[in-house]
Structure 1
Amino acid sequence: MVFKKMLRALGVGGPTVDTVLTESRVYPGGEIVGEVRMTGGEHPSDIDYIALSLVTRVERSGAAVVEFDRAVVSGRFPLGAGQSTVVPFRLPVPWEAPVTEVFGHQLHGMGLGLRTELAVAKAVDKGDLDALHIVPLPSQAAVLEAFARLGFHFRSADLEHGRIHGVDQRLPFFQEIEFHPPRELARGISQVELTFVTDPAGMAVVLEADRRPGMFSSGGDAFGRFHVSHEEAERTDWAGLISQWLGEVSSRRPSNGFHGGGHHGGHRGGGGMGMVGGVAAGLVGGMVLGEVFEEVGESFFGDEG
């Protein structure tokens, strides 16, 4: 895929740059591979540096574009008039990078881009924001597939500034993926939010259910947190686990698995998990997930896709 940028800050007749990606769809913890192709303008130029950065929109007190990863891929070099040069690069994708595409659908409300920054003679041009798609790891996909199987419908997704209590979080924001509950749960729950905080060893799966007020209750939020390795996540019966927890939350019975918590550090907290690794019923492999995605994508997203 080729993204062409005319360098606005350098004026008419300045260099042009094409950022060429081998693949625009990548996994958290994977790599962005490509090359920056430059062509000199009408006059020779001294390139001070080329940098690539990952940027996205984060909700704070209003939405703001945040750069959350950056790498200088080239230092100073001369570029002659009309001369062409290529700078190859390999950039690691942060493990906590937010998912932007599920079941082949772009998540409504999510956008993430690779930005090329070029400095020439002390003039810096940050180019355009070009789309990069982050697809779920198999461990994350197993959880998302369970929500689809349980009859949940995707509502929206966004990034919230802050940190989650009790989770080793590296980025200054976290993703919330919001779902409408199925009919049998809608009387007690208005929506469920899912957050992944992922690292090389595994991930924290954080849930927040918004409970509707009842005859003897004012409603409120229920929180759950589950820590699991990537291998365990693919073997876990997430549909059964989530269904049990949500049934307890909607009926306001004490939970035997996910434990509630309160807001802390800008977001939700929670206790330890009773149902930890070893909850395994039905292996969900990559090929099976691929088939499931095709089946559930339309009903999962409805008109949101």
Structure 2
Amino acid sequence: MVFKRLLGAIGVGGPSVDTVLDGGALPPGGSLSGEVRLRGGGAAAEIEHVVLELVARVEAEHEDGESEGLVTFERFTVGGGFRLDEQEERSVPFRVTLPWETPVSELHGQPLGIVLGVRTELVLAGAMDKGDLDPLAVRPTPVQEAILEALGQLGFVFRSADLERGRIGGTGQRLPFYQEIELTPPPRYAHAVHEIELTFLATGSAAEVVLEADRRGGLLGSGHDTLTHFTVGHDDIAGRDWNAEVDGWIRHLVEHRQAHGSGSYGSYGPYADPDPYAGGHDSHAEPHGGHRSGPGMGTAIAAGAAGVAVGVVGGMVAAEVVDEIGDFFEGEDDEEDEHDDDGGEGEDEG
């Protein structure tokens, strides 16, 4: 799929940019390719750098409430060091790798309400133009899809998805935010769990699966949260009974008993592989920022009677959510984004 955006002139009569992305949705860790097409303006310009930024709309909690903004989570310098003459046309091809923790924005072609984008910037004589924003579609990896398919077959229903600023303790999280996929449980778990929140964290070799249960309170006490996580290798897919395994994860999460308080945070269950980041089975995870997040702007997706995956968003996604995502990219030019040092700066891989 090709997304074409025309940057406004950088200064009077400055060069313009048309970024074309190849292909459709990519998985985390996939190769994003395309070309940046430049056209000279009314005078020659020295192009110091051509930069691609990966950005995401992220929610953050403050004492005064919640806010949303764009966070840059990766940067790639894909060209530069040349002179662009008046009205000259030049193409800069690129191929870069998406971070493994890049959030999933769609499932089976259905948008989840997550806003991801590729921003093209030009650096001329020390000045940078933020350019325009092209939508980026990210689909699950095979392991992520297998887990989502199993949840759907177990009767879990997709409720919403959002991106939360913060870190999950006891994990190998690298980005300054994490994705939460909120699921409504089937009747067999509904008496004990109000909802399940799923987070995928991954490296090039494995996917860490973080599950958090918003537990229902009984007559003698209020509800509390329980969190646990598991690790699955990217190549460890075939020959596994995913329905049974994921159901085991959920049972461990629901039945886990630890000291009650404001929250109860589990570690690893009998189905878990060793944590490649913390180095053991007894590494405890911290709460997801100590709050229960509701659907963010544009993320409360009506999945109707559909469950997760074959299931999860197999039904209709609210049309207003799709429209809102489109409107976001149309009106984002005047928005200021937040550059985060944790995202790092990548190098051109093409």
Please give the TM-score of this superposition, normalised by the length of structure 2: 0.72
* Gap runs ≥5 in structure 1: 278-291
In structure 2, the partner of 1:3 is: 4
Within the candidate set 61, 66, 78, 2:71 is matched to: 66
- CA distance in 2 between counterparts of 1:245 and 1:272 reads 10
The residue number in structure 2 matching 1:97 is 102
Q: Cα–Cα, structure 1 residues 19 and 138, in superposed 2: closer, same or farther, change >3 Å?
A: same
User: Contact 1:27–1:134 (CA<8 Å) still a contact in 2?
Assistant: yes
Q: Name the CA distance, whole Å, in 1 between partners of 2:188 and 2:229.
A: 23
Tell me the CA shift for residue 158 of structure 1.
1.3
Which moved further from structure 2: 65-74 or 54-63? 54-63
Q: Give the C-alpha shift of residue 199 in structure 1.
A: 0.7
For 2:84 and 2:46, how far apart are their aligned partners in 1? 6
Question: Does the CA contact (< 8 Å) of 1:50 and 1:73 recur in 2?
Answer: yes
What is the identity, as a one-letter code, of the residue corresponding to 1:238?
A: W
- Which residue does the alignment assign to 2:271? 275
Inter-partner Cα distance in structure 2 for 1:204 and 1:172: 16
CA RMSD of aligned residues (A): 2.9
- Find the residue that maps to 2:169 and give its secondary structure: coil
In the TM superposition, 1:222-301 aligns within 5 A as 222-247=226-251, 253-254=255-256, 270-276=266-272, 295-296=310-311, 299=314
The one-character-per-residue Cα deviations of 1:250-281 (angstroms, maximum 9, x if unpaired) are 5xx447xxx999999xxx9542231135xxxx
- The separation in 2 between residues aligned to 1:130 and 1:47, in whole angstroms, is 21
Q: Deviations over 1:178-204 (max 9, x none)?
A: 111223322321111000111111111
The equivalences for 1:47-58 within 5 A come to: 47-58=47-58
Secondary structure of 1:222's partner? strand
Q: Secondary structure at the match of 2:146?
A: helix
| Compared CA separation, residues 244 and 6, structure 1 to 2 (3 A) | closer
**Which one of the candidate residues 69, 79, 83 is aligned to 1:78?**
83
Matched, 1:212 2:216: yes
For 1:284, the equivalent position in structure 2 comes to: none
Match for residue 133 of structure 1 among 134, 137, 157: 137
Q: 1:111 to 1:118 in 2, by over 3 A?
A: same
Contact preservation (8 Å) 1:211, 1:222 = yes
Q: CA deviation at 1:206?
A: 0.7
Query: Which structure has greater strand proportion?
Result: 1
Specify the alignment match of 2:282 in structure 1.
none
C-alpha displacement of 1:33: 0.7
Q: Contact 2:181–2:197 at 8 Å: present in 1 too?
A: yes
Looking at structure 2, the residues matched to 106 and 218 of structure 1 have their Cα atoms a distance apart, in angstroms, of 35
The code of the aligned residue for 2:268 comes to G
Shift in alpha-carbon separation, 1:300–1:81, aligned structure 2, 3 A: same
What secondary structure does 1:96 align onto? coil
Output the amino acid matched with 1:58: V
Match of 2:291 in 1: none
Asked if 1 retains the 8 angstrom alpha-carbon contact of 2:184 and 2:194, the reply is yes
- Retained in 2: the 8 A contact 1:154–1:300? no
- Distance in 1 (alpha carbons) for counterparts of 2:266 and 2:308: 31
> What is the number of residues matched between the two proteins?
282
Give the drift of 1:52.
0.5
CA distance in structure 2 between the partners assigned to 1:260 and 1:116 by the alignment: 50
Distance in structure 2 (CA, Å) of the matches to 1:262 and 1:225: 20
1:154 touches 1:301 (CA, 8 Å); kept in 2?
Answer: no
Secondary structure at 2:149 match in 1: helix
> Percent of pairs identical after alignment?
41
Structure 1 letter corresponding to 2:4: F
Higher RCO, 1 or 2 (CA under 8 Å, sep at least 6)?
A: 2
Q: State yes or no: 1:34 paired with 2:30.
A: no
Q: Could you tell me which amino acid in structure 1 is paired with residue 179 of structure 2?
A: Q
Distance 1:112 1:263, change over 3 A: farther
Q: Which residue of 2 aligns with 1:285?
A: none
Report the Cα offset of residue 136 of structure 1.
Answer: 0.5
Work out the CA distance in 2 between the residues paired with 1:260 and 1:96.
31
The structure with the greater share of residues assigned to helix is: 1
Q: Give the Cα–Cα distance (whole angstroms) in 1 for the partners of residues 146 and 269 of structure 2.
A: 19
Alpha-carbon contact 1:165-1:269 (below 8 Å) kept: no
User: Which aligned runs of 4 or more in structure 1 are off by greater than 4 angstroms?
Assistant: 247-250, 259-264, 292-295, 297-305
Is the 2:308–2:314 contact (alpha carbons within 8 Å) kept by the matching residues of 1? no
